[in-house]
Amino acid sequence: MLRVGLTGGIGSGKSTIARLLAERGAVVIDADKLAREVLEPGTDGLAEVAKAFGEDVLNADGTLDRAALAAKAFASEEARQTLNGITHPRIGALTGQRMAEAPEDAIVVHDIPLLVERDMAAVYHLVIVVFADSATRLERLVGSRGMDRQDAEKRIAAQATDEQRRAVADVWLDNSGEVPDVTALWDRLVGFEKNVRTQSYASGAPKVVPYDETWPAQALRIARRISLAAGGRHVEHIGSTSVPGLAAKDVLDFQLAVEDVETADGLREALAQAGFPYVGPYEDTPRGEGGWDKRLHAGADPGRRVNLHLRVEGAANWRWAVDFRDWLRHDAQAREEYANLKLELSQRFAADGDGFAYGDAKEPWMVAAVRRVEAYRGGQAS
């Protein structure tokens, strides 16, 4: 099962994107619908809301007067938190139930407005953010939904900012004007789901590209997913994409701290289910100093290639990855040499489907760099 988080500000058009994905076969779990379900007449949720906010939030027939509740719940942060405390646990339980009912090969799209506010991004394989500028959203709420302008403004203000949403977005869909085409996105999700289910990883020929300013933000999102799957363990962004200004293959490299080989092997299934299937073991040579075989995982997302190395934190191979990264950040000449080498090799091995030949061809330069890295490390220690 692929878990996709779909979010965006009120009035951004999330429901439109959810509908388009549902038409292609996604199983959509709508948090707003579940929120209504937990406050239906006769539920303990509705009874608790009436107790907290007063009987006047109920209509004469016992149903919820949503406008009356909104006027009270959005009047202050305390009131909003009170409502969330009543509804969120119940919505969470229903969400878990709906996900458990989905087929094993489902692409489950969780349409959830408060994904950012509840810090839930890391629990999904992918997060889609639907964007519309605030003026467009306000016009939609007032013009199309008939919402009071002041109420609409309060609701917009109570939600996450665009910057906060962009920080968690693996996919950013601008829905300010024409409805975005989700064809390519759906193809990505289909490939992603298949790879997760079959524990396969995304691959491709090595192609060096100019430094991408979004790599650090992408790495932060993925590192949080890895850490969550691994029980909160330390994750380091390493490799060329971690060096500002350095041309690199568009592949994010990470190392995950483990205590020993047994721990690494014990994390295999959890990482695979999170979207990072096992590739295999191999030694960190020639720069390792008697370390154990490294466990390599890789990303299942066709739209974001990832390499994940499991290493003992502080061991020789762990230290080398950090020292090499920091040396390149520090030494402009080394960065230029390394960039030129990678550009040459990426052209030479353009047909290499998995990049292993490309990696092997870099090895002589890497071996020669050992003394330079050691000199840098010694200078930092002195």
- Rounded to an integer, the average pLDDT of 111-135 is 94
203-381 CATH fold: Beta Polymerase; domain 2 (3.30.460)
Given a contact cutoff of 8 angstroms between Cβ atoms, the answer to whether 2 and 193 are in contact is yes
Whether the model clears a pTM of 0.85, i.e. scores above it, the answer is: yes
Question: Distance between CA atoms of 93 and 89, rounded to whole angstroms?
Answer: 6
Q: Tokens 């959890």 map to which residue?
A: 270
Is position 14 annotated in a ligand binding site?
yes
Question: Distance between CA atoms of 185 and 303, rounded to whole angstroms?
Answer: 9
Is position 11 annotated in a ligand binding site?
yes
2-192 CATH fold: Rossmann fold (3.40.50)
Question: How is the chain split into domains, by residue range?
Answer: 2-192, 203-381
The pLDDT of residue 286 is 44
Is position 12 annotated in a ligand binding site?
yes
Which of 278, 244, 12 minimizes the C-alpha distance to 128?
12
Instruction: Give the pair of three-digit tokens for residue 20.
Output: 């388009």
**To 5 degrees, how large is the angle CA 202–CA 205–CA 206?**
105
- Rounded to an integer, the average pLDDT of 284-301 is 71
58 strand-pairing partners: 64
Q: How confident is the model at residue 300 (pLDDT cuts 50, 70, 90)?
A: very high
Question: Distance between CA atoms of 19 and 11, rounded to whole angstroms?
Answer: 15
The pLDDT of residue 104 is 95
Given a contact cutoff of 8 angstroms between Cβ atoms, the answer to whether 101 and 22 are in contact is no
What pLDDT digit, counting tens, does each position of 81-95 carry? 999 899 999 999 999
Is position 232 annotated in a ligand binding site?
no
Judged against a pLDDT cut of 70, whether residue 289 lies above it is answered with no
